[in-house]
A and B are shown apart, each in its own frame.
Chain A
Amino acid sequence: MTFQELADQLGAFSLSLTASDYAASGVYADLLLEQRQLRQVVQHLLEQEFYLVFATAVSLKPAACLVYQFARHDVLFRVNLRLFAHENESPTISDIFHAAMWYEREIHDFFGIAFTGNGDMRPLILSEMDAGFHPLLKAENVCMDAEKLGFLPLADEPEAGDEQARGSLEDA
């Protein structure tokens, strides 16, 4: 699997994969998704024999950004998927990649993001007593803009909500 092959395959979903500078970012490709596209893409990656390296979140303005990193066993090819958890909600991928079950529960612990469709949202690392306490969620005054940290392309007129410009971002 090469970058071009995956880019072509994802092109069929009308998604444009962006090349990323491996030397600087550690991944070859990068894709900013909308929530409704996630499961479709992830299903495709499972069929193409990718595995989920990790899933995590970054607390940002206007919404926390979820980062999924995928890689392959046969060749060196790391891909980052990013999507914004608007309203602190995102679709689950734990039924596609079972590894995501624990990552999603952990993200729920640390960031308070709920995964719709994941039947098991019990705390994993934190305890039941910590309900409502999300240690990695940044306070308003220290929370950075997604654009500033390169998670969103610099938009001309920033708008909140689901309408994010997508695809044309270099992570590097």
Chain B
Amino acid sequence: MKTEAFKDESRHRFLLNMGPQHPATHGVLRLVLEMDGEYVVHLDPVLGYGHRMHEKMAEARPWPSFLPNTARMDYLAALPYNHGYVCLIEKLAGVEVPRRAECIRVATSELNRVASHLLWLGAFLLDLGAFTPILYGFDDREQILDILEDITGSRLTYSYFRVGGVYRDVDDRFVENTRVFIKRMRKRLDIYNKLVTDNIIFIKRTEGIGVISPEMARRYGVTGANLRGSGIAYDIRKTEPYSIYPELDFEIPVGSRGDCFDRYLVRIKEIEQSLRIIEQALDMLPEGEFRGKAPKKIKLPPRAASFAVEAARGELVYFMVGQDSDVPYRLKVRVPSYANLSLIAELCQGMLIADLVSVMGSLDLVIPEIDR
């Protein structure tokens, strides 16, 4: 709709409250919409329903006790969150991580990323009214959860990484199961492409909708697949590589137009790349220790330090200020969805409400991560 019509105050408007309990907001997010008929004139997100003050908890306990918390911000891809946190501590304390542990970390993190993308795929299409893909997505995701459960002991909030390594070693069964899964997943991607990517209804509902320009993405600090959909090949795994990522051979898929369809395509291609990474990490997996020696007591030095990793939704940064004790003075977690959601007010102005749902789905939001 033309924006001039919005300036016309005489037109009848009404307020629509979307959420906090709305399936399309993926968590408890409330959107206050000012509507002109079917069009969104103004949008105001209300956050904080799932706020737990993780940053305060971090200031109130020794750093090892915060590890379980990191898994509970983005519960769909908890391992990258573990990864960033242990990496930061390892950096501050100068702890060496055995190579086997690094390979395990990367393989499991990427498995987790695939699981997260699969759930997003299902939920996104569910938002658009397609029910079938979520069932297929869950079937595949279940395989990943089974593999991860077998080594980590839990299915969602893993707390699997430890400073200096991982909590439990992997065995041949893990390697075998993962290889079987990769084979299966490659075939399944074909099914997804047939079922979704080429589907005319899906294309009509996503193409040209919610276009994020590179300039807008920069102003809002958008990261992850949402940024790559706009054509910027920015991925922490490549630009600021950590762990064994520099040695791995993978590509960063990018889109060109920055609309919902491109964001979708980038994530589907990312699944493919993640499978490649897992394969390589498994090939590399050396014998040896899975948990190196880490000092029992690590004092966090009195200065600021940050560490960035690529979580499933974008750039995750832990910023920590120590105070010469094992309790951090301040821990800031920069969560990707926070910035990714903040542009929604600008992005969705003048949009049909049905398209707003499509945009929300394509941004891949996890609200508890935003609220922390």
- Direct A–B touching, Cβ under 8 Å: yes
Measured CB to CB, the residues of A under 8 A from B are: 23-27, 46, 49-54, 56, 58-59, 67, 69, 73, 75-76, 78, 80, 97-99, 101-102, 110, 123-127, 135-136, 144, 148-151, 171-172
Classify the secondary structure of B's interface with A.
Answer: mixed
Asked if A125 meets B371 with Cβ closer than 8 Å, knowing A98-B342, A149-B321, the reply is: yes
Q: Establish whether residues A98 and B329, one from each chain, have CB atoms under 8 Å apart when the complex forms.
A: no
Given contacts A24-B305, A26-B305, A171-B303, contact A144 B329 (CB under 8 A): yes
Q: A26-B306, A54-B317 are in contact. Are A98 and B219 (CB under 8 A)?
A: yes
User: Does A98 contact B319, Cβ atoms closer than 8 Å?
Assistant: no
Report the minimum CB–CB distance from B212 to chain A (whole Å).
Answer: 12
CB atoms of B332 and A56 under 8 A apart: yes
Give chain B's interface residue range (CB within 8 Å of chain A): 35 or more
Of all A-B residue pairs in the complex, the 10 with the closest CB atoms, nearest first, are A99-B221, A54-B334, A26-B306, A56-B332, A150-B303, A73-B234, A125-B48, A51-B218, A102-B342, A99-B220
Q: Which of these binds chain A: B51-59, B62-70, B153-161, B178-186?
A: B51-59
Q: Is there contact, CB below 8 Å, between A53 and B334? A: yes
Residue of A nearest to B323 (CB): A144
Q: Is the CB–CB distance between A54 and B234 below 8 Å?
A: no
When the two chains form the complex, which single residue of B56, B219, B227, B302 contacts A136, counting CB atoms closer than 8 Å? Answer: B56
Supplied contacts A101-B342, A144-B302, 5 more A-B pairs, CB within 8 Å: A24-B305, A69-B306, A97-B220, A124-B47, A149-B323
Decide yes or no: A125 and B47 within 8 Å by CB, A26-B91, A54-B334 being known contacts: yes
* Contact across chains for A25 and B305 when beta carbons are under 8 A apart: yes
Chain A's interface: helix, strand, loop or mixed, by majority?
Answer: loop
Q: Cβ of B305 and Cβ of A150 under 8 Å apart?
A: no
Given contacts A73-B234, A76-B239, A124-B48, contact A58 B302 (CB under 8 A): no
Report the minimum CB–CB distance from B226 to chain A (whole Å). 13
Q: List B residues 233-282 near A (Cβ within 8 Å).
A: 234, 239-240
Per the bound structure, the CA–CA distance linking A52 and B303 in Å amounts to: 21
- The residue that B219 contacts in the complex, of A46, A80, A171, with Cβ under 8 A, is A46
Select from chain A the residue with minimum beta-carbon distance to B302.
A149
Whole-angstrom CA separation of A149 from B319 in the bound complex: 14
A151 to B56, CA, bound (A): 20
